[in-house]
Amino acid sequence: MAKGPGLYSDIGKKARDLLYRDYQTDHKFSITTYSPTGVAITSSGTKKGELFLADVNTQLKKKNVTTDVKVDTNSNLFTTITVDEPAPGLKTILSFKVPDQRSGKLELQYLHDYAGISTSVGLTANPIVNFSGVVGTDAISLGTDVAFDTKAGTFTKCNAGLSFIQHDLIAALTLNDKGDTLNASYYQSLRPLTGTAIGGEIAHSFSTNENTITIGTQHALDPLTTVKARVNNFGKASALIQHEWRPKSLFTISGEVDTKSVEKSAKFGLALALKP
């Protein structure tokens, strides 16, 4: 595990990945190829019902600079330029979308043994300014994540979080949606050699007085095959199996069923990622 508290987005990430990552009900396909000059080209397609979305991403790495250019089916051009460690612990990210002239954003990330800071500002006359900061150690940390709209003069986001890590156990508590939603999550690695882990999340909405409880688990059948399952208090049960049939090439099948409405058809998702 990395030294230091990390960024705010790392709070509760282990539990979120266990409970939500790779679950899907769409059909996705991606293939990555590399040119002789080292340029990576990734073509992706997603089928959502009757809708099909596609994009092509080109990535070029030169020393500590990574440039990503993506074009989608709506003729949008996304560009991201990342400069890794122009100074120790610092990362700079510039992103923009064409033809959206208000999409430009500059982000700075800084990691220290006892702090992690990320701040971004929109490249417009009246930008939205984001700031997140975490202080602590790799065992316990406290952080906040806020966004301020300079045009309206109001905060559009105000979150806070606490993370506790001890050996194979990770617990997190976050207050989101300007204090309206309280999330508590838990992750524990049971058998590192087999990738066996359990996790859970409780989300309480103060405005609706509604609770959402999700629990899940994962286990590696072998070094290349992983199975996961989850269920929530609304009766939605999901499972997936993921197989790495060659290095970095993954085949994933997932399904979801509503146990409180068994007459409804189960939903299935398929994802195939090919890399040389």
pLDDT at 276: 83
The pair of structure tokens assigned to 15 is 């539990």
pLDDT at 49: 85
pLDDT at 37: 86
pLDDT at 1: 40
Contact 126, 114 (CB under 8 A): no
Contact 226, 219 (CB under 8 A): yes
Burial class (CB in 10 A: 0-12, 13-18, 19+), 118: buried
* Torsion angle of the four alpha carbons 226, 232, 234, 237, in this order, in degrees rounded to the nearest 10: 20
pLDDT at 123: 94
Radius of gyration of the chain (CA): 21
DSSP assignment of 23-75: --SSEEEEEEEE-TT--EEEEEEEEETTEEEEEEEEEEEETTEEEEEEEETT-
How far is 133 from 143, CA to CA, in rounded Å? 5
pLDDT one-digit tens code per residue, 118-155: 999 999 999 999 999 999 998 999 999 999 999 999 99
Phi, then psi, of 4 in degrees rounded to 5 = 95, 170
* Residue 96: strand pairing partners: 79
Phi, then psi, of 14 in degrees rounded to 5 = -60, -45
| Cα 252–Cα 256–Cα 258 angle in degrees, nearest 5 | 175
The pair of structure tokens assigned to 227 is 């199975």
Residue written as token pair 């051009």:
77
How far is 138 from 71, CA to CA, in rounded Å? 38
Ramachandran bin of 116, using left for φ above 0, alpha for ψ from -120 to 50, beta for the remaining angles = beta
Supply the DSSP symbol for 248.
Answer: T
CA distances to 25, 177, 249 from 246, in Å: 24, 41, 5
Low-confidence ranges of the chain (pLDDT < 70): 1-2
Q: Could you tell me the pTM of the whole model?
A: 0.91
CA distances to 63, 77, 133, 209, 240 from 179, in Å: 43, 36, 18, 13, 33
